[in-house]
């Protein structure tokens, strides 16, 4: 007799352990369930869908979105989702395995319930040559950090509106109205941010990673040298020596970096050359007071304009 009794008991214990935490959860009746890979996408969906959507996100904002390990709870959320909003391109290498683990094929890349936020965005750093990993952790289709330019948020809002209207035509007018109001607010803020950053135009900065491209494009900054030796490759003493000379020669005032990279190399360089280390957010909610698209950009542009005054 196989020990089926003990097997049953163990299975039961496993379920009981889980049941200890049992509380009702989930979307309200009639709401579309949306899973966004990043907090910024989740915030834009909320702005347009408001009470018609229940939004969850995968990547915790305080971590680098490239290196997220989706959890079983993410798999569960995606398997129940009506819409999956993601960066497209090749930033979120974990996105396809997550979708496959959830097993809902209409959310897969290119399918009807998958929103690729990069659609229509003017991509920077699109490779013009055969790529090799010898160049570091580079991206095949262009720089994927397009969320750093608020003008791209207008394009992203359009992508979300289009999909929401398609899968929920009954509320199309509602979504359109919300999107219009959101974009109008955003355009006013874009003018304000441009004015704030106007004195920074033409100045050069050092960035930790190549994730500054779209931010620099909006502000008018020049960013040609990075703390990383190559994308994804941490700095070496030799590289920092080179940067020290470079910063002095080009009279650079600021070193820009996200919160989640180690700050010691930037601090060391800044101390040697008398530059400031400017921390900017890459994700909505990464720091206190950056919990929506507007406060996220407010924070970032204030940081850079204060540093380059």
Site for other proteins in 113-132 (CB under 8 A): 116, 118-123, 126
Asked if 153 interacts with other proteins (CB under 8 A), we say no
Asked if 27 interacts with other proteins (CB under 8 A), we say no
Binding test (CB under 8 A) with other proteins, winner from 79, 225, 295, 303: 79
Cα 246 from chain centroid? 30
Q: Which stretch binds other proteins (CB under 8 A): 45-53, 110-118, 163-171, 276-284?
A: 110-118
Binding test (CB under 8 A) with other proteins, winner from 51, 135, 137, 224: 137
Asked if 56 interacts with other proteins (CB under 8 A), we say no
Q: Which stretch binds other proteins (CB under 8 A): 47-55, 66-74, 217-225, 293-301?
A: 66-74
Could you report how far apart the first and last alpha carbons of the chain are, in Å? 80
Residue 105 tokens read as 């094929």
Asked if 25 interacts with other proteins (CB under 8 A), we say yes
Residues in 216-235 at the binding interface with other proteins, rule: CB under 8 A: 232-234
Q: Which of residues 225 and 259 has its CB atom nearest to other proteins in the complex?
A: 259
Binding test (CB under 8 A) with other proteins, winner from 31, 50, 56, 108: 108
What is the smallest separation between the CB atom of 105 and other proteins, expressed in angstroms? 4
Report the distance separating Cα 84 and Cα 208, nearest Å.
Answer: 30
Beta strand ranges found along 87-183 (DSSP E): 114-116
Report the distance separating Cα 100 and Cα 105, nearest Å.
Answer: 8
Report the distance separating Cα 135 and Cα 133, nearest Å.
Answer: 5
Binding test (CB under 8 A) with other proteins, winner from 32, 42, 54, 70: 70
Counting Cβ atoms within 10 Å, is residue 115 exposed (0-12), middle (13-18) or buried (19+)? buried
Q: What is the DSSP string of 230-297?
A: BTTB---HHHHHHHHHHHHHHT--EEEE-TTS--HHHHHHHHHHTPEEEE--SSTTSSTT--SHHHHH
Nearest Cα neighbor of 64 from 37, 99, 84, 89 is 37
The answer to whether 260 and 285 have CB atoms below 8 angstroms apart is no
Residues in 237-276 at the binding interface with other proteins, rule: CB under 8 A: 260-262
What is the smallest separation between the CB atom of 48 and other proteins, expressed in angstroms? 18
Binding test (CB under 8 A) with other proteins, winner from 44, 75, 160, 223: 75
Residue 224 tokens read as 């040609």
Interface map 156-195 toward other proteins (x if CB under 8 A): -----------------------------------x--xx
Q: Which stretch binds other proteins (CB under 8 A): 74-82, 177-185, 242-250, 268-276?
A: 74-82
């Amino acid at each position: 007799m196989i020990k089926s009794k003990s097997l049953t008991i163990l299975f039961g214990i496993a379920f009981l352990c889980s049941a200890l935490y049992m509380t009702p959860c989930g979307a309200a009746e009639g709401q579309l369930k949306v899973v966004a890979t990043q907090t910024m996408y989740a915030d834009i969906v909320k702005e347009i869908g408001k009470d018609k959507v229940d939004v969850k996100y995968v990547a915790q904002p305080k971590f680098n979105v490239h290196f997220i390990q989706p959890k079983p709870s993410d798999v569960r959320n995606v398997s129940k989702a009506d819409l999956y909003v993601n960066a497209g391109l090749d930033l979120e290498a974990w996105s396809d395995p997550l979708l496959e683990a959830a097993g809902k094929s209409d959310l897969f890349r290119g399918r009807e319930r998958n929103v690729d936020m990069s659609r229509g965005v003017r991509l920077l750093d699109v490779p013009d040559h055969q790529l090799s990993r010898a160049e570091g952790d580079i991206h095949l289709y262009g720089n994927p950090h397009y969320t750093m330019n608020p003008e791209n948020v207008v394009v992203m809002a359009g992508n979300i509106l289009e999909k929401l209207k398609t899968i929920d035509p009954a509320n199309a007018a509602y979504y359109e109205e919300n999107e219009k109001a959101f974009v109008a607010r955003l355009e006013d803020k874009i003018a304000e941010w441009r004015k704030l950053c106007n004195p920074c135009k033409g100045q050069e900065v050092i960035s930790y990673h190549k994730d500054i491209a779209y931010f620099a494009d909006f502000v008018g900054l020049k960013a040609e040298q990075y703390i990383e030796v190559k994308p994804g490759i941490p700095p070496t003493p030799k590289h920092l020596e080179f940067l020290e000379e470079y910063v002095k020669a080009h009279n650079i005032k600021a070193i820009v970096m996200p919160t989640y990279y180690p700050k010691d190399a930037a601090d060391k360089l800044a101390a040697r050359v008398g530059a400031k280390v400017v921390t900017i957010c890459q994700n909505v909610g990464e720091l206190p007071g950056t919990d929506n698209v507007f406060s996220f950009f407010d924070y970032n542009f204030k940081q850079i304009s204060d540093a380059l005054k």
